[in-house]
């Protein structure tokens, strides 16, 4: 499998992703939230680029059938039902609901991938499930969503972990960034807390009081399913 890594959402290039399998990764916290919400029974997630878009698109839905969720500056948006904390997305709250989600980077990364053959949603939470799903693909692009057009190590280490898992099960051909991430992941033996101790976005979230979210999102293989983003919404795929 040939693997290319994109360092942040703004660096997604239409030509690069055309006809390829793309895995969008935003460990802290968008893709961890999406994976959790769908696993906990949400009907679908509709990623929105702006707060206005989320309000507008939800207008045609019955109020009790959907939830407006997301963040700006890590905090819940005024008038929304939930923020972007995965711990809020419990089965009791999300079961059967359509979720309109807008986040600073993760939802943008998903929406930029429309030229891809398929777009999967990756996180540490579903590392094995994602790896299994992409094992048979020939051309892969791992998109590290990053933070405000900058590379973020949490996403990079998730890409490194995915490449490492793939390398155990198939022959891989990686680009230079993939090489760096794989080596870094292997050098710390998967000790995530050590690897990420200086990660800007992780510390930003901790400073804002979201340490529990960080601990939750760094758990590996807690969730055995993968979701796909297609035709404007995300659902779990078999
Ligand atoms: C994002 O999509 O930018 C992130 O999920 C931000 C956050 O941690 O809430």
Q: Which atom of ligand 1 is nearest to the CA of 108?
A: 2
Q: Which atom of ligand 1 is nearest to the CA of 30?
A: 5
Taking residue 202's Cβ as centre, other Cβ atoms within 10 Å add up to 25
pLDDT in tens, 43-70: 999 999 999 999 999 999 999 999 999 9
Tell me if residue 142 falls in helix, strand or coil: strand
pLDDT in tens, 67-125: 999 999 999 999 999 999 999 999 999 999 999 999 999 999 999 888 899 999 999 99
- Which pLDDT value is given to residue 233? 79
Average pLDDT over residues 30-41: 97
Please give the C-alpha separations between residue 126 and each of 111, 135, 224, in angstroms, as whole numbers: 21, 14, 6
Q: Which residues line ligand 1 (CB under 6 A)?
A: 26, 28-30, 71, 74, 84, 103-106, 205
User: Who's near 40: CB < 8 A, 6+ residues apart?
Assistant: 89, 90, 91, 94, 95
- Give dist(CA 19, CA 15) in Å, integer: 9
Number of H helices, E strands in the chain: 11, 11
Contact (CB, 8 A) for 33 and 86 = yes
């Amino acid at each position: 499998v040939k693997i290319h890594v994109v360092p942040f959402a703004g660096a997604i290039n239409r030509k690069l992703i055309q006809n390829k399998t793309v895995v969008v990764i935003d460990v802290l916290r968008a893709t961890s939230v999406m994976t959790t919400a769908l696993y906990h029974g949400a009907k679908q997630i509709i990623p929105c680029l702006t707060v206005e878009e989320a309000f507008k698109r939800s207008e045609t839905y019955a109020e009790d059938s959907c939830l407006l969720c997301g963040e700006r500056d890590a905090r819940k948006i005024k008038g929304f039902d939930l923020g972007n904390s995965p711990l809020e997305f419990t089965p009791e709250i999300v079961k059967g609901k359509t979720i309109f989600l807008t986040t600073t980077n993760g939802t943008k990364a998903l929406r930029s991938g429309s030229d891809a053959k398929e777009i999967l949603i990756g996180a540490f939470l579903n590392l094995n499930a994602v790896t299994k799903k992409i094992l048979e693909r020939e051309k892969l692009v791992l998109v590290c969503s990053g933070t405000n057009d900058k590379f973020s190590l949490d996403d990079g280490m998730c890409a490194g972990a995915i490449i490492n898992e793939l390398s155990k099960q198939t022959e891989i051909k990686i680009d230079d960034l993939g090489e760096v991430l794989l080596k870094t992941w292997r050098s710390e033996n998967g000790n995530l807390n050590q690897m990420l101790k200086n990660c800007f976005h992780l510390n930003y979230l901790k400073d804002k009081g979201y340490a529990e979210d960080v601990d939750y999102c760094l758990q590996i293989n807690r969730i055995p399913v993968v979701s796909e983003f297609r035709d404007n919404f995300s659902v779990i795929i078999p």
